[in-house]
Structure 1
Amino acid sequence: MNKLRGNDLRKIGFPEGKSINLALDILEDKQLKKLDKGSALALLQKVKADPYSYLRDSLWRDLAKEFISDSNRSVGLNPEIKDYRRYGEAFIEDGARKQMDIAMQLPVTLDGALMPDAHQGYGLPIGGVLAVDNAVIPYGVGMDIGCRMALSVFALPRTYLDQRTQELKKLLHYHTRFGSKEIFKTPTDDPILTRPEFKEIAIVRSKREAAINQLGSSGSGNHFVEWGLVDITAEDTSLGLPIGQYLGLLSHSGSRGLGAAIAQHYTKVAISKCPLPPEARYLAWLRLDTQEGQEYWRAMNLAGDYASACHHDIHRRLSNALGEKPLAKVENHHNFAWRETLPNGREAIVHRKGATPAGQGVLGVIPGSMTAPGFIVRGRGEQDSIQSASHGAGRRMSRTQAKQSISEGELRRYLRDQGVELIGGGLDEAPVAYKDIHQVMAHQRDLVDVLGSFTPRIVRMDAGGSGKSKYGGE
């Protein structure tokens, strides 16, 4: 290659001194001598951008250390695990509990709780609630920022589900889109797309076109749109529905590619700014009094609002197609961070990764599985749980385990026996993969009051393209 010189490295942001000499020496290694100039510079930029990733590489270690400030090198965990409340501990897997233990050792941690649907994830476990001091943890929020539930309740009787099954299936085919390949030919022009963050934050700006195309669509995995039976069992003025049965529309999805890109970018930034021991690496935080912290906070809130706009579009399309206006709506989200005040009066940033806000009087929906009921709930404001509850039944099997434990034929027979119509979907979302929602609810009686239930009857999910509409339409 054309030999690199110190001036080439200064142009890509290398500071004067030791780092330049180290980089030039490393490039003399016989494995790297064959690189052309552009590839060598690109590699050095990677080391500079994410030095923590190179600390275990004997070739790059010394150079990587030059890009980690002395203050960041000293970040460590507290020796003691702060006490936190665990709900339904008997059936929470060890991996989730250990992840929460590590989170409770962070120097910024103030309080925490683990919900009964908890299972292992990246960084903070799914079902983990963590209150920290003046900081935000991108992987404490999660990949699917602002993922949420949205329920519309219609003044149509139970018999409507039985008599109009094919019609309701067609409405899902025509008016919903799933995964990365299905988009509407004419996406909705929503005010969310004019937000200043789409111009002012680079990672958000790069995803604006995708956000336009994906508006009103749902993700893959456990995301769904479904018709079902709403059974209101308790009078509640905030919900405004008499006791009785109704047709319901329930959706579950998040911020699509926009949220994922924000999570990936700022997790990388956090890791480079706040290197932690390997077991805590994905709990790296951004201080809210820094430019990066403020950028993430704005981007996170935009992603949450975008997820809400997607649900509003889904429900608007289907309500119009049904020819009915909802009597009531309930919407709640997880995978987010809120600025809240703890019982001791201290302000905190509360992360709920796969956990539902359950402040006093706050309404929400906690789903079960495609054959198990979900529950419409009202929060009780329990302080031990940091005013939180579970976000669903929670997985008891990994996706791989689920695929190995049930066949396609067994799943279809089981759904038929339960009276559930499934469009798309995969074996990884089979009901057997989930915990018993009734057990989960039993462990959070102190956290929420149950106002009613939602029982799925016609479910649409992504299936890698196999769930695509056979009816045509837009």
Structure 2
Amino acid sequence: MNGKQITKLGFERKAIGLALAAASLREGAGLSREEILGELRGVQANPDAFLGGVYDALAAELIAVRGVQEARASSDLRPAPLPYPVWGADLIDPGAHTQMDVAMRLPISRAGALMPDAHVGYGLPIGGVLATENAVIPYGVGVDIGCSMMLSVLPLPSGALKTEEAKALLMRHTRFGAGVGFEKRDREDHAVLHEDTWDALPLLGHLHEKAINQIGTSGSGNHFAEFGTFTLAAADPELGLEAGDYLALLSHSGSRGFGAQVANHFTRLAQDLHPTLDKSAQKLAWLRLDTEEGQAYWLAMNLAGRYALANHDLIHTRLARALGETPLLRVSNSHNLAWKQQVDGKELIVHRKGATPAAAGQLGLIPGSMADPGFLVRGRGNPAALASASHGAGRQLGRKAAINALAKKDVQAYLERHGITLIGGGIDEAPQAYKRIEDVIARQTDLVDVLGQFMPKVVRMDTGNEDV
């Protein structure tokens, strides 16, 4: 036997040497060349059957090569993106379209949609909705897993809380910023911290203490807590509210450092599982839900989503208690999460990265900027949008672009004209960095119905970059 004969069988690289070594042993055992070639063809056809014998090393190599080939084939992008609908195309930058096109070329993608607040993100664009089959994409959910909104409408007239009182309450009962938590004596407990889920994965057990330290707080960037006026134009039996103006609290927060570490851990894991994935799609590496890794992420993601809502719960509970009031209405929704959802009669995984769930009759919140209105909406369950809507106004200037383009005096003048008192906040979060929320809402009248409007008055955020 020689290398040329082995190569003619189709063996490559390392397998040629292993085949020659095994063939030499078989020749020593008295087998003819034709008998050995027949055995080698058998190893090629079914390497699993030859593990443990004289062909063990060759069979193991062929199995490994087969795995790489299967991974490469399963990671190949479609030559062209699947079609997807777009709402408010005139408001969306080309980069977001490009990112969505890449997402719709993934072999696991089945449907998608782009919301009118869409702009460039990491992997899936912010404002992107993507339905996949038996797979979840960590960066399709985002780094701030479970990022969400909550509104509390209080049984007080809109002018019942003076500006200085509102400032004092927000300073006393909220905390903002990376790594920030309440002092231990002021920290409150929550049922989410006592779930058995924390013991299900070593990673979650490792992050449990971080979650305890940061419970009831908010991060940096566009997270906020604000008092303002909620206006309901007409009585709504489902809401249980009469028409009028109410004092209300609106917050935007997520899963803090706990969620970020979960996102980054599983994104690295997904990328390792898809080493041949096209460079343009590397941030969209996925985990199959029928694998141990996929199930682990699904468990951790949903815990992070519950933890994010627990942060809101404590923020609203603390402030309502300080006012001595019980909210007439509390509404919340997550907008960075993945859900199992029936799409055309089949269960798919619907990722909403900066998109509000808007099933028929479902309540949701779509905020503007620190000085512009937000809206309480009811979903219309539009199937083309995968029952989704925008999650806010959406950026028209990136953070660096806003800092470079906007003057502090102009931002301050805008806030003064709108009667906004700001605690913290940076130029990168200026109202001028965002699209006009009225334009965004106008582009999605077939996705949601507007029920009420919230107008901020006293806003607290992290100090941010280039403070206003």
Output the TM-score relative to the length of structure 2: 0.83
Q: Does 1:317 align with 2:329?
A: no
Which residue in 1 is equivalent to 2:428?
428
Which residue in 1 is equivalent to 2:328?
327
Which residue in 2 is equivalent to 1:69?
68
Going from structure 1 to structure 2, the CA distance change for 1:98 and 1:425 (only over 3 Å counts) comes to same
Q: How does 1:324-473 map to 2 (within 5 A)?
A: 324-342=325-343, 344-463=344-463
Which residue in 2 is equivalent to 1:49?
none
Which residue in 1 is equivalent to 2:27?
none
Comparing 285-294 with 456-465, greater Cα deviation is found at: 456-465
Comparing 236-245 with 219-228, greater Cα deviation is found at: 236-245
* Cα distance in 2, alignment partners of residues 235 and 380 from structure 1: 19
Partner AA of 1:296 in structure 2:
Y
The DSSP-based 3-state class of the residue aligned with 1:85 is: coil
Alpha-carbon shift at residue 329 of structure 1 (Å): 0.6
Alpha-carbon shift at residue 71 of structure 1 (Å): 1.9
Which residue in 2 is equivalent to 1:472?
none
* Cα distance in 1, alignment partners of residues 449 and 70 from structure 2: 47
Alpha-carbon shift at residue 418 of structure 1 (Å): 1.3
Output the TM-score relative to the length of structure 1: 0.82
* Cα distance in 1, alignment partners of residues 178 and 67 from structure 2: 37
The DSSP-based 3-state class of the residue aligned with 2:383 is: coil
Q: Deviations along 1:189-221, whole A, 9 cap, x unmatched?
A: 212112223222122222111100100000100
The DSSP-based 3-state class of the residue aligned with 1:360 is: coil
* Cα distance in 2, alignment partners of residues 94 and 154 from structure 1: 42
Partner AA of 1:226 in structure 2:
E
Q: How does 1:7-406 map to 2 (within 5 A)?
A: 69-74=68-73, 75-161=75-161, 164-185=162-183, 186=185, 187-275=187-275, 276-342=277-343, 344-406=344-406
Which residue in 1 is equivalent to 2:55?
none
Could you tell me which runs of 5 or more consecutive residues in structure 1 were left unpaired when the two chains were aligned: 1-17, 19-64, 468-474
Q: Deviations along 1:42-71, whole A, 9 cap, x unmatched?
A: xxxxxxxxxxxxxxxxxxxxxxx9998332
The DSSP-based 3-state class of the residue aligned with 1:389 is: strand
Going from structure 1 to structure 2, the CA distance change for 1:241 and 1:67 (only over 3 Å counts) comes to farther
Indicate if the aligned counterparts of 1:87 and 1:444 stay in contact, CA closer than 8 A.
yes
Partner AA of 1:77 in structure 2:
L
Going from structure 1 to structure 2, the CA distance change for 1:332 and 1:86 (only over 3 Å counts) comes to same
For the aligned residue pairs, the C-alpha RMSD in angstroms reads 1.8
Going from structure 1 to structure 2, the CA distance change for 1:370 and 1:68 (only over 3 Å counts) comes to farther
Indicate if the aligned counterparts of 1:135 and 1:293 stay in contact, CA closer than 8 A.
yes
Going from structure 1 to structure 2, the CA distance change for 1:93 and 1:192 (only over 3 Å counts) comes to same
Partner AA of 1:400 in structure 2:
K
Q: Deviations along 1:223-254, whole A, 9 cap, x unmatched?
A: 00000000012332221111111001000010
Q: Deviations along 1:125-177, whole A, 9 cap, x unmatched?
A: 0000001101100000000001000000011112224xx11111100000000
* Cα distance in 2, alignment partners of residues 240 and 159 from structure 1: 21
* Cα distance in 2, alignment partners of residues 427 and 463 from structure 1: 10
Indicate if the aligned counterparts of 2:174 and 2:217 stay in contact, CA closer than 8 A.
yes
Partner AA of 2:106 in structure 1:
L
Counting matched residue pairs gives 402
* Cα distance in 2, alignment partners of residues 131 and 280 from structure 1: 16
Indicate if the aligned counterparts of 1:179 and 1:220 stay in contact, CA closer than 8 A.
yes
Partner AA of 2:419 in structure 1:
G
Alpha-carbon shift at residue 369 of structure 1 (Å): 0.6
Larger radius of gyration: 2
Which residue in 2 is equivalent to 1:3?
none
Partner AA of 1:172 in structure 2:
L
Alpha-carbon shift at residue 413 of structure 1 (Å): 2.5
The DSSP-based 3-state class of the residue aligned with 2:310 is: helix
Indicate if the aligned counterparts of 2:426 and 2:463 stay in contact, CA closer than 8 A.
yes
* Cα distance in 1, alignment partners of residues 195 and 337 from structure 2: 19
More helix by share: 2
Alpha-carbon shift at residue 322 of structure 1 (Å): 0.9
* Cα distance in 1, alignment partners of residues 163 and 80 from structure 2: 56
The DSSP-based 3-state class of the residue aligned with 1:229 is: strand
Alpha-carbon shift at residue 464 of structure 1 (Å): 5.1
Q: Deviations along 1:22-53, whole A, 9 cap, x unmatched?
A: xxxxxxxxxxxxxxxxxxxxxxxxxxxxxxxx
* Cα distance in 2, alignment partners of residues 339 and 292 from structure 1: 17
Q: Deviations along 1:301-358, whole A, 9 cap, x unmatched?
A: 000000011100000100001111100011011110000101x201100000000000
Could you tell me which runs of 5 or more consecutive residues in structure 2 were left unpaired when the two chains were aligned: 1-13, 15-63
